[in-house]
Amino acid sequence: MRLQDKVAVVTGAASGMGKAIAELYASEGAKVIVADLNIEGAQEVVSGITEKGGVAKAVQVNVAKQEDIDNMIDTAVSEYGTLDILVNNAGIMDGFEPVADILDERWDLIFDINTKGVMRAMRKAIPIFLEKGKGNIINTASTGGLNGAHAGATYGASKHAVIGLTKNTGYMYAQKGIRCNAIAPGAVATNISASMKNINQFGMERTKPVQGVIPRVGNPEEIAQVALFLASDESSFVNGTVVTADGGWTAAF
């Protein structure tokens, strides 16, 4: 029970990596806010957790809206008394567009969800962490935040920004008892492809050689194990860094 009596918020937790993280955290003793735009899916995750004796609550959240983020964090505090762990996992993909084909509205939407939503949740949580003298932030980045050929320009830029935000935050608050790390998953079996619109054929073709050397596709539970390590005291000296979990994919580059 490595997270006994901890309170965690996990975004994008109705499916995929977020679901796996929420379930694993609950099994390790955490009280979990299962946050997602898909409230029915979030409620199903909560039902599964409670059936196994865990503690969780579903909250509908559009991470592109400040009021939803505020409500999400406030709910954790009102329901469970505090916040210990924030996992910013919600995100969407682009359509592999290179920069010449980016539409402003699509750029804005992806950054609102993938980057600004992460910043806003961190901004809301940090005063709580500062008051209690400790806290833990885990951001889902991507190997696309480290490399240039794993998605389109917008998604890659949004995840590069998350990594920069993670490193800056880890450094800035290192003496305040707050840790901030990111996970950079490689190819993982999730439903994020459902957010892809109007696939850009040129961009897709350019990424094919890189996609072709993926050793294997991971599963969400493997990423959840990394998130558990980062949330636990076992990683107490790990801060402001990115843990790449890609089966060895980017070791080739």
Out of 80, 155, 171, 173, which one is annotated catalytic?
A: 155
- Sign of the C-alpha dihedral computed for residues 223, 225, 231 and 233 taken in this order: negative
CA angle 224, 112, 98 (to 5 degrees): 90
Give the C-alpha separation, 95 to 155, whole Å.
Answer: 9
Q: Is 173 a catalytic residue?
A: no
Tokens of 87: 């996992």
Give the C-alpha separation, 150 to 147, whole Å.
Answer: 7
Contacts of residue 124, Cβ cutoff 8 Å, sequence gap at least 6:
69, 70, 73
Other Cβ atoms within 10 Å of 194 Cβ, number: 10
HEC-encoded secondary structure of 32-73: EEEEECCHHHHHHHHHHHHHCCCEEEEEECCCCCHHHHHHHH
CA distances from 233 to 4, 15, 136, 244 (A): 11, 26, 10, 19
Other Cβ atoms within 10 Å of 237 Cβ, number: 6
Contacts of residue 210, Cβ cutoff 8 Å, sequence gap at least 6:
147, 149, 150
Catalytic residues: 155
